[in-house]
Amino acid sequence: MDATQNSTPFEKGAWKAVFNRCYQPQKKLFHRVIALALTTAGVEASFTLITKEVFDEIADKGADAQLLGYGLVFFTALAVLVICIRSFIRLTGKLSMTLMYELRKESFEHLQSLSFSFYDNNAVGWLVSRITSDTARIARIVAWGTLDLFWGIPMILAIFIVLFVLDARMALIVLALFPLLAGVAWVFNQKILNSSRELRKTNSRLTAVYNEGIAGIQTSKILVREQQNLKEFKVDTDKMYGLSMHNLLLTSAFFPFVNVFVSLAVGIALWLGGVDVLAGVLTLGTLVAFMNYARTLMDPMLEVSETLANLQRTTACVERVMGLLVVEPTIKDSDAVVELMKRAYESDHQTLDGLENDIRDIEFKDIQFSYKPDEPVLSDFNLKVPAGSTVALVGPTGSGKSTVVSLLCRFYEPNQGQVLVNGVDYRDRSLLWLQSNLGIVLQTPFLFTGTIRSNIRYGKLDATDAEIEAAAKAVNVHDIIMGMEHGYETQVQEGGTNLSTGQKQLISFARAIIHDPQILVMDEATSSVDTQTEARLQKSLATVLKGRTSFIIAHRLSTIRNADVIVVIEDGRLIEQGSHSELLEKKGHYFELYQKQFKNELEETLLKEGEI
Ligand SMILES: Nc1ncnc2c1ncn2[C@@H]1O[C@H](COP(=O)(O)OP(=O)(O)OP(=O)(O)O)[C@@H](O)[C@H]1O
């Protein structure tokens, strides 16, 4: 199942699912919040009854009225109320934060397990919103909504019952007004709901404009787009302002309306009750109780209707987050492999799946692959590589070179055909075994926030400092790191903005080889590094590639020339394969490519080497 921006697979039962997920691990906390909500409702409702008794006592006994007992009960109830309020604020806050943490952790862990194809369909910004704002909203509404509903509904019921017990006729008259109030409140809520929805949409657009404006500031400046950006930004901010004002007007009209309405109910109670008190059929205490309850009833009613509206407003968030959590990774270990891994674990086998660890050869056999149906990217792709060889993948842009290495790394799996490791389909081996034997250097190096040391350690979490330095030395970046003020402890800023692309590239190279992978995948990316870094990379390459099976998307002639096998790909097909001299001799596609693309580079190199 796929959770894309445009569709959520969880249309029904999303609330039930999210509530179960939240409730099960936090049962105790939920029960405590519910107990506090019920106690608070009971205590609050009892105040009016105490007042009634005081009035009746005074009306009955005049100056002889005994009020001390009532005072004590009143203060005890007050003390209990204060303790309840303090406790529910603390516990509901704790519940809300715990739920948010758990939902975020679960979503994040789940996202990490998903396959690349999932990320092809879901933008990063959209996913970040799900993990941050949606989870926070859900946690808040689940925790505080539980409190409000378990306080509000029992309170409303208790007041209804007391009013009927006190005087059924008056209770009916006062309560007859409430369906009207509920109707008007519903209309207001719908209007506020619609305008809030529109407001949120505009806000998302505005955030996107902000993001683009800031992230793409350099491009905007170069293209002199600032004025246009400002114009677009103004349209959205004006709309946001208008919608916010509309929302404010609705809300500000709603509360005075509610107040007028409640006062009307209280006035009717006063009028009818007053006549009855004068006629001696109603006690003064009961009249006061009626007026108080009619007023008090408003709070739980408003709270419950607000909570229900919030639940409705949050349904879309719940569907999105739950939709995300039910997406299954498309690439995972089969049941048979899981069984193999279980047996290997029990027998303490050296590899995760109990099969041989040393890679002897890798073969792409009759591979057909497409990212989207009916748009083939690789067709009839066949290639067998003995261990220890360096394979250079060359070909025009978009020909399928990166796709070949994505399939090798099992980021995607072939639609047809097989990738065989030692003659065994890699789907019959543990995914973790394969990926822990891979070292990857991408075209655009990515470093995490943290120190340079921790970034290299990502490649082998238990690496010692000596191993980290050895890896850095192997790729010729040790002296660059030592030249920095804080050496290996230098902090890498978000996105590695305080390092040059070349430095990032070399550090990610050290990270890729620290765990001594059997297979190394490299996107050479000469375009993004300066000549000095290129020279460093070049120097280290011979040592690093030794004894490994390497797949290099090669841009540099020197790498291509030194590769054991050059594979020429065009339109997703392997059209030529051989060593540099073999392919030149053949005077085919590689020769043509060489003439067009690499000859200038070769001449420059030869000039440098003084050969001509
Ligand atoms: N994630 C993806 N989803 C859909 N199509 C993709 C995806 N990645 C690549 N493609 C398409 O597959 C084809 C091959 O792309 P690939 O990146 O493998 O080519 P390449 O030879 O590595 O190109 P370059 O040298 O420019 O990096 C291209 O048409 C590309 O648009």
The number of the ligand 1 atom at minimal distance from the alpha carbon of 404 is 18
CATH architecture assigned to 14-325: Up-down Bundle (1.20)
Q: Judge whether residue 462 has pLDDT over 70.
A: yes
Q: Which residues contact 116 (CB under 8 A, 6 or more apart)?
A: 406, 411, 412
CA proximity to 406, closest of 115, 187, 140, 136: 115
Q: What is the pLDDT of residue 6?
A: 42
Give the residue, by CA position, lying nearest to ligand 1 atom 29: 398
pLDDT band at 455 (very low <50, low <70, confident <90, very high): very high
Q: What is the pLDDT of residue 605?
A: 60
CA proximity to 434, closest of 331, 536, 534: 331
User: Does 115 contact ligand 1 (Cβ within 6 A)?
Assistant: no
> Quick one: average pLDDT of 429-456?
88
Running DSSP on this structure, what letter comes out for residue 448?
Answer: -
pLDDT digits (tens, 9 = 90+) for 39-82: 999 999 888 888 888 888 887 777 777 778 888 999 999 999 99
Q: Judge whether residue 612 has pLDDT over 60.
A: no
Q: Judge whether residue 319 has pLDDT over 50.
A: yes
User: Does 527 contact ligand 1 (Cβ within 6 A)?
Assistant: no
Q: What is the pLDDT of residue 5?
A: 46
Give the residue, by CA position, lying nearest to ligand 1 atom 7: 371
pLDDT band at 611 (very low <50, low <70, confident <90, very high): very low
Using a pLDDT cut of 90, give the percent of the chain over it.
Answer: 35
Alpha carbons within 13 angstroms on the beta-carbon side of residue 193 total 18
The number of the ligand 1 atom at minimal distance from the alpha carbon of 395 is 21
Among 12-16, 285-289, 324-328, 586-590, the range scoring the smallest mean pLDDT is: 12-16
Report H helices in 217-297. 217-222, 226-279, 284-296
User: Does 401 contact ligand 1 (Cβ within 6 A)?
Assistant: yes
- Assess contact for 294 and 266: CB atoms under 8 A: yes
- Whole-angstrom distance, CA of residue 495 vs CA of residue 445: 9
pLDDT digits (tens, 9 = 90+) for 349-388: 777 887 888 999 999 999 999 998 889 999 999 999 999 9
Compute the distance from residue 454 Cα to the ligand 1 centre, in Å. Answer: 31
- Whole-angstrom distance, CA of residue 521 vs CA of residue 607: 30
Provide the mean pLDDT of the chain: 85
User: Does 548 contact ligand 1 (Cβ within 6 A)?
Assistant: no
Strand order in the sheet with 424-425: 376-386, 361-370, 416-421, 424-425
> Quick one: average pLDDT of 120-129?
76
Q: What is the pLDDT of residue 602?
A: 60
User: Does 396 contact ligand 1 (Cβ within 6 A)?
Assistant: no
What do you get for the CA distance between the two ends of the chain, in Å? 62
User: Does 400 contact ligand 1 (Cβ within 6 A)?
Assistant: yes
pLDDT digits (tens, 9 = 90+) for 140-177: 999 999 999 999 999 988 888 888 888 888 788 777 87
pLDDT digits (tens, 9 = 90+) for 509-521: 899 999 889 999 9
CA proximity to 38, closest of 79, 104, 84: 84
Q: What is the pLDDT of residue 573?
A: 94
Q: Which residues contact 556 (CB under 8 A, 6 or more apart)?
A: 524, 526, 534, 538, 601
> Quick one: average pLDDT of 564-588?
92
User: Does 120 contact ligand 1 (Cβ within 6 A)?
Assistant: yes
- Whole-angstrom distance, CA of residue 370 vs CA of residue 127: 25
Running DSSP on this structure, what letter comes out for residue 597?
Answer: I
- Assess contact for 383 and 364: CB atoms under 8 A: yes
> Quick one: average pLDDT of 438-467?
89
Residue with tokens 């739920």: 99
Q: What is the pLDDT of residue 29?
A: 94
User: Does 285 contact ligand 1 (Cβ within 6 A)?
Assistant: no
The number of the ligand 1 atom at minimal distance from the alpha carbon of 403 is 18
Structure tokens at 181: 């109030």
User: Does 371 contact ligand 1 (Cβ within 6 A)?
Assistant: yes
The number of the ligand 1 atom at minimal distance from the alpha carbon of 572 is 14
Domain extent listing, the chain = 14-325
User: Does 398 contact ligand 1 (Cβ within 6 A)?
Assistant: yes
- Whole-angstrom distance, CA of residue 430 vs CA of residue 436: 10
- Whole-angstrom distance, CA of residue 171 vs CA of residue 555: 86
pLDDT digits (tens, 9 = 90+) for 6-44: 444 445 578 888 888 899 999 999 999 999 999 999 999
Compute the distance from residue 337 Cα to the ligand 1 centre, in Å. Answer: 30
pLDDT band at 451 (very low <50, low <70, confident <90, very high): very high
Compute the distance from residue 1 Cα to the ligand 1 centre, in Å. Answer: 24
Find residue 521's DSSP bridge partners. 440, 551
CA proximity to 435, closest of 457, 415, 405: 405
> SS3 letters for 95-153?
HHHHHHHHHHHHHHHHHHHCCHHHHHHCCHHHHHHHHHHHHHHHHHHHHHHHHHHHHHH
pLDDT digits (tens, 9 = 90+) for 235-272: 888 888 888 888 888 878 887 887 787 788 778 878 88
Among 132-136, 209-213, 240-244, 280-284, the range scoring the smallest mean pLDDT is: 209-213
Alpha carbons within 13 angstroms on the beta-carbon side of residue 587 total 0
- Assess contact for 494 and 504: CB atoms under 8 A: no
- Assess contact for 513 and 471: CB atoms under 8 A: yes
User: Does 555 contact ligand 1 (Cβ within 6 A)?
Assistant: no
Angle between helices 284-296 and 168-215 (to 10 degrees): 20
Determine what percent of the chain falls in helix, strand and coil, rounding each to the nearest 5. 70, 10, 20
Instruction: Compute CA 245 distance to the chain's CA centroid, rounded to the nearest angstrom.
Output: 31
pLDDT digits (tens, 9 = 90+) for 533-544: 777 777 788 788
Q: Judge whether residue 524 has pLDDT over 90.
A: no
Q: What is the pLDDT of residue 1?
A: 38
- Assess contact for 408 and 419: CB atoms under 8 A: yes
Residue 558 or 440, more confident: 440
Report H helices in 216-225. 217-222
